[in-house]
Amino acid sequence: MKAQSGQTVSFSSACATLALRDVRLAVRRLGQVVQPVVFFLMVTTLFPLALNPQPSLMREIAPGVLWVAALLASMLALDSFFRSDFDDGTLEQLVICGQPLSALVASRMLVHWLIIGMPLVLASPLVALALYVPLAAVPSLMLSLLLGTGVLMFVGAIGAALTLASRRGGVLLSLLILPLVMPALIFGARSTDLVIHGEPAGGGIWLLAAMLVLSLTFAPLAAAAAIRICLE
């Protein structure tokens, strides 16, 4: 990547500039950032109103409700992951800037994870209390959601890159991503269920951590390849 003065910009400076740009865009488009959190809160808090609000019943359904709501809320922001940059030509500039495209994509994924995934994690204690989840289980719940939302964001970025050229990318994106994130949903809900019932959930959390490392390793490469294909 080159500055306007003609001087070559280092890789770290390019990543920092790109991350700062994404943060500024998120502040300007605050509605897109708030929408997944509002959806997450609305879906999870409606269950006590629609069902018999007995504490035992709420605790039984809490793992599935929390994780399905987090999955759907995360997917709300995936369609716009690369869409605006694709429309205004920013992706083409990233491809020809001279920096590794996969590394720049990985930087964007991390920022997107912090902007979209972190608010969901911070909102989870409120939802957990509404579903009568024990306070002792909340830290493990937040940790598992932190890891799980990372997997959802990184894997979802691959689908977002693959559907850039599609006019109905949202529907196609859902069909592509949902089967791939099922393991994270299963292990995350299972670990949450174990913690709620006072059992150790280290196995599920470690599996989520392994899936996060795996997705962080391969998702930027796959997304960068998909972007190059869509731009050709």
In the chain, domain spans = 11-231
Chunked into runs of 10 residues, the chain (232 residues) has average pLDDT values of 50 73 74 82 82 80 88 79 72 76 83 85 87 86 89 86 71 78 88 84 86 90 84 73
DSSP character for 116? Answer: I
From CA 104, how far away is CA 134, in angstroms rounded? 40
Q: Which pLDDT value is given to residue 4?
A: 45
Residues 83 and 108: beta-carbon distance below 8 Å: no
Instruction: Quickly tell me which residue has 């109905």 as its tokens.
Output: 168
From CA 40, how far away is CA 35, in angstroms rounded? 9
Q: Which pLDDT value is given to residue 210?
A: 92
Q: Which pLDDT value is given to residue 213?
A: 92
The rounded Cα 12 to chain-centroid distance in angstroms is 23
Q: Say what angle helices 30-50 and 11-28 make with each other, to 10 degrees.
A: 60
Q: How many CA atoms does the CB half-sphere of 71 hold within 13 Å?
A: 21
Between vectors from CA 211 to CA 124 and to CA 43, what angle results, nearest 5°? 25
* pLDDT tens column, 45-87: 887 777 777 878 888 888 888 888 888 888 887 777 777 777 7
Q: Indicate the pTM of the whole model.
A: 0.82
